[in-house]
Amino acid sequence: MANSKFEYVRNFETDDRCLPNTWIVVRVDGRGFHKFSEKHEFAKPNDKRSLDLMGKAAGRVMTEFKEICLAYGQSDEFSFVFKRDMDLHKRRASKLMTSVASIFTSAFVFHWPQFFDIPLKYPPSFDGRVVLYPSTQNLRDYLSWRQADCHINNLYNTAFWTLVLKGNLTNAEVISLKVL
């Protein structure tokens, strides 16, 4: 190509390779899913259709990236663990996190009609991040952290919505109970 005059701007791109021999975790999170779940009338405390769709989208990510050895999801987030010694995309953080976020989103929208009767009202999205864990114990603790978070949130939501749905209390009344 002859466009050398402008091509110097390429040098402004930085190298963001992940440290070798570390566990690379990419976690995606729903953007504005509080509003999204209301607009699409998600069941409370847990919407099985949504959780199944999240699982389906995660499966698509794992199909495209054989280098992912484990995935764990809850609510509107999903964590993907890449094998410690993998070298996909030269371990470039940008490439890994944007690809995962994009594939996950794409599959979520693509497979929506298989799980929901109502159509999508607007396109949902997920952001992502990369975190490195040097030891297997660190990775295990990361997963335990997400699992504990899941358990605590689920316990809270189950109690909250039971009081609202079966106890005939309003949201505000449950919050004022201060028991939770």
Q: Footprint of a copy of itself on this chain (CB under 8 A)?
A: 1-3, 5-15, 17, 19-22, 28, 31, 60, 64, 93-95, 97-99, 101-111, 120, 122-135, 138, 141-142, 144-145, 148-149, 152
CB of 48 to a copy of itself, least distance (A): 22
For 85-117, give one letter per residue: b (16+ CB within 10 A) or e.
ebebeebbbeebbebbbebbbebbeebbeebbe
Q: Find out whether 106 is annotated in a ligand binding site.
A: no
Cα separation, 157 vs 160, in Å, equals: 5
- Taking the least distance from each CB to a copy of itself, the nearer of 148 and 177 is 148
CB of 80 to a copy of itself, least distance (A): 13
Contacts of 23 (CB under 8 A, 6+ apart): 81, 82, 84, 132, 133, 134, 136, 138, 139
Q: Find out whether 108 is annotated in a ligand binding site.
A: no
Q: Find out whether 33 is annotated in a ligand binding site.
A: yes
Instruction: Please list the residues that pair with 68 across neighbouring strands.
Output: 82
CB of 65 to a copy of itself, least distance (A): 11
The conformation of residue 91, written as its DSSP 8-state character, comes to G
- Taking the least distance from each CB to a copy of itself, the nearer of 124 and 163 is 124
Q: Find out whether 32 is annotated in a ligand binding site.
A: yes
Binding residues for GTP: 29-34, 75-76
